[in-house]
C-alpha cells in the first residue's frame, strides 16, 4: 500500500537542508543537499512508521480487529477497507 505524506524542506545558511513530515511528529532529518535530505527523510519516515506500528501492536488482545483505513482528504471522506 502506498501512502502520501506532506513534507517540508528548509535550507539553512550553510547550504544544508532540514526536512520534516507534517503528519508524523518527530520525523525530522537533515542533508547536505536537497536530495540527501529527501533520502534521509524517507528513511526516517519508514523507521517512525515501523516503530509506531510495532509499538501499537505490542499489546493487542486476541479479540482485537485490525483493519486498514483509507482517507480521501480531498473530499473529507473516510473509507474503511479490510486488511484480511
Per-residue pLDDT tens over the stretch 26-70 = 999 999 999 999 999 999 999 999 999 999 999 899 999 988 888
Domain borders along the chain are 7-82
CA distance 51 to 75: 30
Q: What is the pLDDT of residue 3?
A: 83
Q: What is the DSSP string of 55-78?
A: HHHTT--TT---EEEEEETTTTEE
> pLDDT class for 74, splitting at 50, 70, 90?
low
Write out pLDDT tens, residues 9-21. 999 999 999 999 9
Query: What is the C-alpha to C-alpha distance for residues 35 and 37, in angstroms, rounded to an integer?
Result: 5
- Grid cell of 63 as nine digits: 479479540
pLDDT value of residue 70: 80
Q: Has domain 7-82 been given CATH number 3.30.450?
A: no
What does the pLDDT read at residue 4? 87
Q: Which helix (H) or strand (E) holds 20?
A: strand 17-21
Amino acid at each position: 500500500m502506498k501512502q502520501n505524506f506532506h513534507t517540508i524542506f528548509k535550507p539553512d545558511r550553510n547550504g544544508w537542508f532540514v526536512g520534516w513530515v507534517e503528519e508524523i511528529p518527530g520525523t525530522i532529518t537533515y542533508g547536505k543537499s536537497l536530495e540527501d535530505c529527501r533520502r534521509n527523510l524517507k528513511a526516517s519516515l519508514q523507521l517512525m512508521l515501523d516503530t509506531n506500528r510495532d509499538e501499537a501492536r505490542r499489546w493487542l488482545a486476541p479479540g482485537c480487529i485490525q483493519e486498514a483505513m483509507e482517507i480521501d482528504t480531498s473530499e473529507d471522506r473516510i473509507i474503511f477497507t479490510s486488511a484480511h
